[in-house]
Amino acid sequence: MDSAEDSPATAEAARHASAREARAAAVLEDYVELIEDLLATTGEARPTDIARRIGVSHATAIKAIARLKREGLAHSRPYRGVFLTEAGQALAAKLRARHRLVVDLLLALGVPPEVAEHDAEGIEHHVSEASLEAFRRFLGRPTPPGPAQP
């Protein structure tokens, strides 16, 4: 038998494929994260504010919002601001925790705060649950309860 570790080239290809998926998801993740933040801190998430904070034109932001809606993560009605669906809120909570954990890890490793925040913005989208778990252990944090049964 020879398929115990699956042809190396195949494993490598799978890693690249996985990274491509993460790259594709990164954009929407950032929008969800930001919308949650705007809603939490200001009570509303308007396309213009979203665009300004993400650094794209408002037209681009509106298209991204349309995609969020298509994927069931957000809803909005014309001129009324954007809101997160249940699914969107759940995702946002996960993303917020992940973002913080990545930043905290970088800080613990001695990365300057500005740089930590900068690099985390890209890194966060590529950190698997297994790595997050290792980060928590390293930071001496208890593993958080999974989706607790209410």
Partner DNA sequence: CTGATATTGTAGCGAAGGCTACATTTTGCG
Partner DNA sequence: CGCAAAATGTAGCCTTCGCTACAATATCAG
Binding site for DNA (CB under 7 A): 20, 24, 26-28, 46-49, 55-60, 62-65, 67, 76-81
Nearest CB to DNA, comparing residues 95 and 105: 95
81 contact choice in Mn ion, DNA, a copy of itself, none (CB below 5 to 8 Å, kind-dependent):
DNA
Closest CB 145 distance from DNA, rounded Å: 31
- Judged by beta carbon distances under 5 to 8 A according to partner kind, the member of DNA, a copy of itself, Mn ion, none in contact with residue 87 is none
19 vs 25: CA distance, rounded Å = 10
Spatial CB neighbours of 104, under 8 Å, sequence gap ≥ 6? 135, 139
Asked if 36 and 86 touch (Cβ cutoff 8 Å), the reply is: no
- 65's CB contacts (< 8 A; 6+ apart) are 31, 47, 50, 74, 76, 82
Interface residue list for Mn ion (CB under 5 A)? 30, 33, 99, 121
